[in-house]
Amino acid sequence: MSMQVTANQTDAGIELLPSSLVGQSLRCVRNDRVLFENLDIRLNAGEILQIDGANGSGKTSLIRILSSLAQPDEGQVCWKGKDIHAFRTDYLEDLLYVGHSNAIKVDLSLLENMFFARALSVKANEQIFEDVLHRLGLLEHADLPASNLSSGQKRKLALSRLLVCDAKLWILDEPLNSLDESSKAVVTDIIRAHIKAGGSLVLTTHEEITWDDIRINRVSL
Amino acid sequence: MFGPLDKYAAPERFYLLCKSMGPWLSAISLLLFLVGLYGGLVYAPSDYQQGDSFRIIYVHVPSAWMSMFVYVVMAVSGAMGLIWKVKISDAIARSCAPLGAAFTFLALATGSIWGKPMWGTWWVWDARLTSELILLFLYFGYMALQAAIEDRRMAARAGAILALAGLINIPIIHYSVEWWSTLHQGPTVSKMDAPSIHTSMLIPLLIMFLAFKLYFFAVLCMRARCEIIEQEKNSRWVKQLARGGVDS
Amino acid sequence: MQRLSSLAVFSCLLKRELLLGLRHRSELLHPLLFFLIVVTMFPLALGPEPEQLRQIAVAVIWVAAVLASSLSLDMMFRSDFEDGSLEQILLSAQPANVLVMAKVLAHWLLSGAPLIVSALTLSYFLYLPQSATVPMLATLLLGTPIFSLIGSVATALTVGLRGGGMLLALLILPLYMPLLIFAVSAVNNAVQGLSIKAELYFLSALLVLALTLTPFATTASLRIRLS
């Protein structure tokens, strides 16, 4: 491991911490339009990477490249010094992704949704589902089909994965979308706890997030 | 990755290679066509059973061979694009599809024209013709998928998987259709390329085959050039090319 | 902290698919109804003479089964694609092939298996001889999983595309033709009292081939469509 890090240091001339996400000279072209090129990003443990930009500026494309769903047209993304496509399984074990869509089955109850979401993650938390739902204010719907939920409640159910799965790196696309103020507070608390525990976070959001004691790297597209 | 081939795998180099090769290939294939057609239509003796109508094999057999060959080229270059991300192979695969479909159609059309005097009908459910027909469907499926996906990269990669699936299926289709036809018709009377073909008939056939192959590569060069320009239209060298006209 | 084995995740996902399928019972019936209606049209078009119907029974049932299963393929990945579950499946650290196979198996259980039962029932309506029932069952048991497996590749390639259903049929039907040939020839042999071993071996070989290759192709196709 240490060998690899040193090797990378000389190669790229940037320092790599054990759990850091590094994107080098990323380029993305969609429908003949260059969304970004020569983009370098880096994120260490205990830090946040916030991606800003107008609609259509390529925020979601960048998120999808960082999550290994899409491949950049040029450049590469490394996690802990290893290319995320070459070492996909290692990367995915550390990754938790909540995309633009909620990945909720409206015909399943909330508890069933959480159960299957947890089954997909290799490292699951021993959190009790009812506690998680209580924290998110969804406990009363626990056994009802998710189709009964409002869009904000569905977003919260999607974010319940943050608590039932265990991952070092979170990649969240507009996590606070359609949430009311009190829910936003709950979610930002969850995020804060994750960072404080040494986790990392990549997110896109229109909200202003500021904490004095947490470093937020900003990328503007 | 490909050693000496590597430098030709760059789109710009490949474009220039195609540009210089294209005219030569066209010229040689035209020459071979003239020789082969003369040999096939004039020089070769008539068949003692089929008379002169057998002469259509000089178009039918090469195009049937090419229909398979082009599919293999398409699938293999698609796979190279998929695995090694060779940019030009996407362009090659995409250029192959309409050409292959055209060869397949030609094989079907000449087969049915030959069938009219032989069988007294334009279409017979003969094993070879049926296989060719299914192959034509495979080409159409590939082209439909390419047309349905807007993003070029994604279309190329999706097409490559479909072409590979088709490539695995072609022998299975071929033998299952053969099986089916022997079941229903007994030993088929449609043998178009008799095993003991006379040398004076065989040589023009081989020349025609070569002519078809070179024709394919000549047209492939032209089509691949267009595809590469389209694919790389944002790159510096294409913009330069557009500014400088054809002489760059 | 707990770590699920691949097999556990496979059965978990299978359970989820079956649960979802059962909560959408009416949708499951659509391919079956289509199958019944197509088969019903043949006696209406040809006339009710048992002798004539018996001759075409095998072909009609198999062709209708091919059409019905190519229609049902569309539902294999679509809802997961639309609601983002597919991203989660591909971003799971569990082997994606295993997860995809769970979905394919679920699809077969929900659409292929009911098709087998109704095909057997319909063979009575078309006066197929009793002796052909078991061969019919055998070919369907071997053939319908191949439908789901080969179909999963084409479905993955076309998921989320405009006009996906028709395109899917266009891609998939040529690939089904060998299957159709072997299956129909097996049952016809059985009707004539001949051996059907060769065809069944061929079908088994195709099944093994499909089982070996399609998981990789389907996973790769899904990754491409999601990129």
- Domain ranges within chain B, ordered by starting residue: 21-186+198-242
| CB spacing of C4 vs A122 below 8 angstroms | yes
Given an 8 Å threshold on Cβ–Cβ distance, is B234 in contact with A31? no
Which residues, 6 or more positions from C68, have their beta carbon under 8 angstroms from its beta carbon? C31, C32, C34, C35, C38, C115
Across chain C, mean pLDDT equals: 90
Q: Is C84 on the interface with A (CB under 8 A)?
A: yes
Residue B1 reports pLDDT greater than 60: no
pLDDT surpasses 80 at A10: no
Q: Which of A208-217, C175-184, C188-197 holds the top average pLDDT?
A: C175-184
Angle, CA A135 vertex, CA A129 and CA A141 arms, to 5°: 65
Contacts of C177 in chain B (CB under 8 A): 134, 173, 176-177
Per-residue confidence band for A128, with pLDDT thresholds at 50, 70 and 90: confident
Beta-ladder partners of C140: none
Quick check: A97 and C88 CB within 8 A?
yes
**Alpha carbons A150 and A144: distance in angstroms, whole number:** 13
CA angle B49-B55-B58, nearest 5°? 135
In terms of pLDDT, which residue wins out, C152 or A175?
C152
pLDDT for position C129: 87
A31 in contact with B, Cβ within 8 Å: yes
Per the prediction, chain A carries an average pLDDT of: 82
Chain A residue numbers touching C94 (CB-CB < 8 A): 120, 122
- The pLDDT assigned to B9 comes to 66
Does the beta-carbon distance from B149 to C227 stay under 8 Å? no
Q: What is residue A1's predicted lDDT score, i.e. its pLDDT? A: 33
Is the CB of C16 inside 8 Å of chain A's CB atoms?
Answer: yes
Q: Which residue of A has its CA nearest to C82?
A: A101
Compute the distance between CA of residue B169 and CA of residue A29 in angstroms, rounded to an integer: 35
A92: which chain C residues are within 8 Å (Cβ-Cβ)? 91-93
Q: Is pLDDT larger for residue A215 or for residue C21?
A: C21
Environment class of B193 (CB within 10 Å of its CB; exposed 0-12, middle 13-18, buried 19+): middle
CB contact (8 A) between residue C170 and residue B144: yes
Picking from A119-133, B159-173, C25-39, C100-114, which range would have the lowest pLDDT averaged per residue?
A: A119-133
Answer whether B234 sits within 8 Å of A30, measured CB to CB: no
Would you say residue C60 has pLDDT above 60?
A: yes
Residue A9 pLDDT grade (very low, low, confident, very high; cuts 50, 70, 90): very low
If DSSP states are collapsed to H, E and C, what string results for chain B? CCHHHHHHHCHHHHHHHHHHHHHHHHHHHHHHHHHHHHHHHHHCCCECCCEHHHHHHHHHHHHHHHHHHHHHHHHHHHHHHHHHCCHHHHHHHHHHHHHHHHHHHHHHHHHHHHHHHHHCCCCCCCHHHHHHHHHHHHHHHHHHHHHHCCCHHHHHHHHHHHHHHHHHHHHHHHHHHHHHHHHHHCCCCCCCCCCCCCHHHHHHHHHHHHHHHHHHHHHHHHHHHHHHHHHCCCCHHHHHHHHHHHHC
Q: How many CB pairs under 8 A join A and C?
A: 85
Residue type, position B79, single letter: A
Mean pLDDT of B162-172: 93
- Give the strand pairing for A82-83 and A215-220: unpaired
DSSP reduced 3-state for A212: coil
- Residue B214 confidence (pLDDT) above 90: yes
Is residue A213 pLDDT above 90, yes or no?
no
CA distances from B81 to A111, A117, B147, C90 (A): 44, 34, 18, 22
> What's the CA gap between A148 and C210, in Å, rounded?
41
Mean pLDDT calculated for residue range A122-143: 81
Find residues 187-226 of chain C whose CB sits inside 8 Å of chain B. 202, 206, 209, 213, 217, 220-221, 224-225
Query: A72 by DSSP, 3-state: which?
Result: coil
CB B99 within 8 Å of CB B220: yes
- Write out pLDDT tens, residues B137-148: 999 999 999 999
Q: What is the mean pLDDT of residues C46-74?
A: 90
Give how far B240 is from chain A: nearest CA, Å. 17
pLDDT value of position A130? 84
pLDDT attached to residue C171: 93
Is 60 exceeded by the pLDDT of residue A64?
yes
Chain A residues lying within 8 Å of C8, measured CB to CB: 119
Mean pLDDT of C180-188: 91
Cα C2 to Cα C4: distance, rounded to the nearest angstrom: 7
Chain B touched by C20 (CB under 8 Å): no
Average pLDDT over residues A44-50: 87
Please tell me which residue, B140 or A178, carries the higher pLDDT value. B140
Give residue C9's pLDDT.
87
Chain A interface includes C227 (CB < 8 A): yes
Contact with chain C for residue B141, Cβ under 8 A: yes
Residue B3 has pLDDT above 60, yes or no: no
Q: Are strands A74-79 and A82-83 parallel, antiparallel or unpaired?
A: antiparallel
Q: What is the pTM of this model?
A: 0.88
Instruction: Take residue B157 and report the two structure tokens written for it.
Output: 């990669």
Contact residues on chain B for C225, CB-CB shorter than 8 A: 154, 158
**For C164, which residue in chain B has the nearest alpha carbon?**
B148
Whether C9 sits inside 8 A of A119 (CB atoms) is yes
pLDDT of B195 higher than 60: no
Pairing of strands A200-204, A169-173: parallel
